[in-house]
Structure 1
Amino acid sequence: MTTQHRLWLQDLTLSAAVAGFVAVLVGFTSSVAIVFQAAQALGATAAQTSSWMWALGLGMGITSLGLSLWTRQPVLTAWSTPGAALLAGSAGLSMAEAIGAFIVCAALIMLFGVTRWFERVMDRIPLAVASALLAGVLARFGLDAVLTVQSAPLMVLVMAGAYLLGKRFMPRYAVPGVLLAGVAVAAAQGRLRLSAVDWAWAQPVWTTPVFSLAALVGVALPLFLVTMASQNLPGVAAQRASGYQTPVSASITVTGLASLLLAPFGGYAFNLAAITAAICMGREAHEDPAKRYTAAMMAGLFYIAVGLAGGAVVGLLVAFPRELVAAVAGLALLGTIAGGLSAALKDEKHRDAAILTFLVTLSGVSLLGIGSAFWGVVAGSAALLVARWRA
């Protein structure tokens, strides 16, 4: 075992491991259904759908593990959720044409990473706007956690009580306590759906790409745009708002390379995570910010397990009730939401731009197929330009 491996094992704590698990739990359960819909819209067989899980799990796992170990910062990657929604709405394309579009999209992501074009754009966004963007993206999860009280009052109130007691007496283990409390109540209520788990290993299935103009215009370019604007942009904002200066261009290039290599197996697009990464960047993951990278590394290991075990692990994750996942996510992100809002509103000269960014992002508005995170930055940037022009 190398010295580097020994060091990260020494930095690892139970709270970091649980934060990594919660990040994977939230990431998969919140959008795995959309990925299945995307595969089915392209006419995927059962074997190809399993291959998509294999490729996506391994791609997210290896990139998260590698980037976090290399940078010693919590760098978490994810599949492109708006990209999956885009694919789910596609019609008239074959799987082979879609794979060709995935490869073109991956090449564009790599181009913007290698040339540092994307990083130059991010360098122009003030910290107040980046923090407001992060708070707006994550606040939706806090609201969802509150709303689950309507459908599962006992479970959510017990989890909230566990969180408050944990923060008072064992702050580092507050989130593990929330997860255990939620699982215990769900089990007692008979709401853990373990019977649907398929205990089988996933197998990669190669699909030879076909390149067509229709797929290029209808899938590759829109997939690239939504991945960069709705995923990578808030992903970088989450890192910077949490005080981490991760090498943006190198990280984007790595996600593009992973997409390129795994596209023929169903790895349609990888990007920097924001919501799940925030779980690994908060105090709940580790008291020492310099050691929170271990949470992202554990998430990477869990992602690899998901990829290899395919339907079995996905089935286990989906077995948790929707309210349990929403409550865990919302409670785990409370500190990060508060920190983002505090940083966003701290500087009075950026306050108008920050609150506009927050509200537009929180609204969930989608225009031209691009999500609210991008339009939040547009609104905040416009406010900054007007303020500077007026000054």
Structure 2
Amino acid sequence: MSARPPHRGQSSEAVLAGVISAVVGFSSSFAVVLAGLTAVGASPAEAGSGVAILCLTMGLGCVLFSWRFRMPVTMAWSTPGAALLATTAAPEGGFATAVGAFVLTGVLILLTGLFRPLAVLVSRIPPAIASAMLAGVLLPLCVAPFLSLAQTPLVIGPLVLTWLVLLRLAPRWAVPGALAAAVVVMGFSGTFGTLDVASLQPRLTWTAPEFSWDVAVAIALPLYVVTMTSQNIPGVTVLASFGYPAPMRSALVYTGAATSLGAPVGGHAINLAAISAALAAGPEAGPDPARRWLAGVTCGLVYLLLGPLSPAVAAASDAAPAGLLAAVAGLALIATFASSAGTALSSETTRVPAAVTFLVAASGVVVAGVGAAFWALIAGLVVDRVIKGHRPGE
């Protein structure tokens, strides 16, 4: 009898942790996903459909994997991947060719789970160079809130102020708080009165994928690399830090297949959760690690509930004052930028290659129709190899 109350308490803590994980994960980065999909040519309806299918596939993955393996396996959309898309010019063939690139990204992730040599190849990319590429991609997005603040202080000011206050008092809720401030600004600006009720209905929009080598190199390959190095690999590390052996192979097969199948309705990529994974796998989910799998299941169920709301979220975002949601996205990515930049420049032996990677990625240069993220990765690897080639014993 005495063991039952703690058991119930453990379950309630795990459920609450799962709810927080999903709500924070969604609210702190959905603006980034919308910005990314819009940048590569998605209409508001297509972007809303993309967010919806991402919520459904990652929610289903959370439930299935947490239940099957009895550990808090949480999945998420690729926020770094969405940030990469947000700095990519719309492909020549429109959103259909971007969808084709998403399909290829999913195939690459799936193959990584099936064939160990591909996973080994990805793991050999120096972490400093991968982080530098991500930091360079994020820089323009992180600058956006402060540029908009100078241009429209009355619109952006409440977001930045709320974010700053919560960063001091409750850091986990800083970005959701900024989003709440954005909703208040939208209300005062009359945004919600302009919405068409028909655009708020839950629906999935089909886009037949088209394939292009240029777009595959410009979008699919960088999206795959940044999703693997910035999400999947750190996600495994987070779970391991709490004593859980992540089912890496099956997770890659599922997320790869789900990415490819979800691409025609707008989803860009899903993966193992990294930062938000700690909320479901850590002590916040209760003192007994064997019961924390409930947090993963709950997180997935909340994502499944959030999916149908995505079209309404996308429509409201499209009608918001200019720069408002971009500011939310930029504030959401500052912590990721700081972490990536710190990793990129922390080691003296890879500092110069990482700096070159960062600068090329931040430059936005486009060569032969291929964007800066790909060329940044190539430039960093070349500089790294040149420097190592001059070191005895390497």
> Normalising by the residue count of structure 1, what TM-score does the alignment of the two structures yield?
0.71
The code of the aligned residue for 1:27 comes to V
- 1:202 and 2:203 correspond: yes
Is the CA contact (8 Å cut-off) linking 2:105 and 2:224 kept in structure 1? no
Is the CA contact (8 Å cut-off) linking 2:74 and 2:280 kept in structure 1? no
Aligned residue among 11, 17, 20 for 1:11: 17
Counterpart in the other structure of 1:43: none
The code of the aligned residue for 2:343 comes to A
- 1:231 and 2:239 correspond: no
Counterpart in the other structure of 1:89: 92
Counterpart in the other structure of 1:271: 269
Aligned residue among 6, 9, 23 for 2:29: 23
Counterpart in the other structure of 2:185: 185
Counterpart in the other structure of 1:148: 148
Q: Offset of 1:352 from its aligned partner? A: 0.3
Counterpart in the other structure of 1:42: none
> Normalising by the residue count of structure 2, what TM-score does the alignment of the two structures yield?
0.70
Is the deviation greater in 193-202 or in 377-386? 193-202
Unaligned runs of 5+ in 2: 1-7, 241-245, 286-291
Is the CA contact (8 Å cut-off) linking 2:53 and 2:267 kept in structure 1? no
SS of 1:76 mapped into structure 2: strand
Question: Aligned partners of 1:7 and 1:230: how far apart in 2?
Answer: 38
Q: Offset of 1:233 from its aligned partner? A: 0.8
Name the Cα RMSD after superposition: 4.8
Is the deviation greater in 241-250 or in 12-21? 241-250
Q: Offset of 1:306 from its aligned partner? A: 6.1
Cα 1:247/1:382, change in 2 over 3 Å: farther
Cα 1:287/1:113, change in 2 over 3 Å: closer
Counterpart in the other structure of 1:365: 365
- 1:161 and 2:161 correspond: yes
Q: Offset of 1:192 from its aligned partner? A: 4.4
Question: Aligned partners of 1:311 and 1:28: how far apart in 2?
Answer: 11
Q: Offset of 1:388 from its aligned partner? A: 0.9
Q: Offset of 1:186 from its aligned partner? A: 3.1
The code of the aligned residue for 1:231 comes to L
Is the deviation greater in 3-12 or in 346-355? 3-12
Q: Offset of 1:142 from its aligned partner? A: 0.8
SS of 1:179 mapped into structure 2: helix
Is the CA contact (8 Å cut-off) linking 1:357 and 1:376 kept in structure 2? yes
Counterpart in the other structure of 1:126: 126
The code of the aligned residue for 1:132 comes to A
Cα 1:221/1:15, change in 2 over 3 Å: same
Is the CA contact (8 Å cut-off) linking 2:72 and 2:281 kept in structure 1? no
Superposed, which structure 2 residues align to 1:233-252 within 5 Å? 233-239=225-231, 240=233, 244=238, 250-252=250-252
Question: Aligned partners of 1:98 and 1:133: how far apart in 2?
Answer: 20
Superposed, which structure 2 residues align to 1:2-81 within 5 Å? 8-12=14-18, 14=20, 17-32=23-38, 34=40, 36=42, 55=53, 58-59=56-57, 61-63=59-61, 72=72, 75-78=75-78
Question: Aligned partners of 2:318 and 2:167: how far apart in 1?
Answer: 28
The code of the aligned residue for 2:174 comes to A
Cα 1:180/1:377, change in 2 over 3 Å: same
> Residue by residue, what CA displacement relative to the aligned partner does 1:42-82 show, whole Å, maximum 9, x if unpaired?
xxxx9x99977765553454346656886746642359868
Is the CA contact (8 Å cut-off) linking 2:58 and 2:75 kept in structure 1? no
Is the CA contact (8 Å cut-off) linking 1:103 and 1:260 kept in structure 2? yes
The code of the aligned residue for 2:27 comes to F
Is the CA contact (8 Å cut-off) linking 2:105 and 2:223 kept in structure 1? no
Q: Offset of 1:228 from its aligned partner? A: 3.9
> Residue by residue, what CA displacement relative to the aligned partner does 1:206-226 show, whole Å, maximum 9, x if unpaired?
x9x9xxxxx9xx716556545
Q: Offset of 1:350 from its aligned partner? A: 1.0
Q: Offset of 1:231 from its aligned partner? A: 1.0
Is the CA contact (8 Å cut-off) linking 2:52 and 2:204 kept in structure 1? yes
Q: Offset of 1:177 from its aligned partner? A: 2.5
Question: Aligned partners of 2:119 and 2:302: how far apart in 1?
Answer: 29
Is the CA contact (8 Å cut-off) linking 2:101 and 2:220 kept in structure 1? no
Question: Aligned partners of 1:124 and 1:241: how far apart in 2?
Answer: 15
Matched length: 364
The code of the aligned residue for 1:58 comes to L
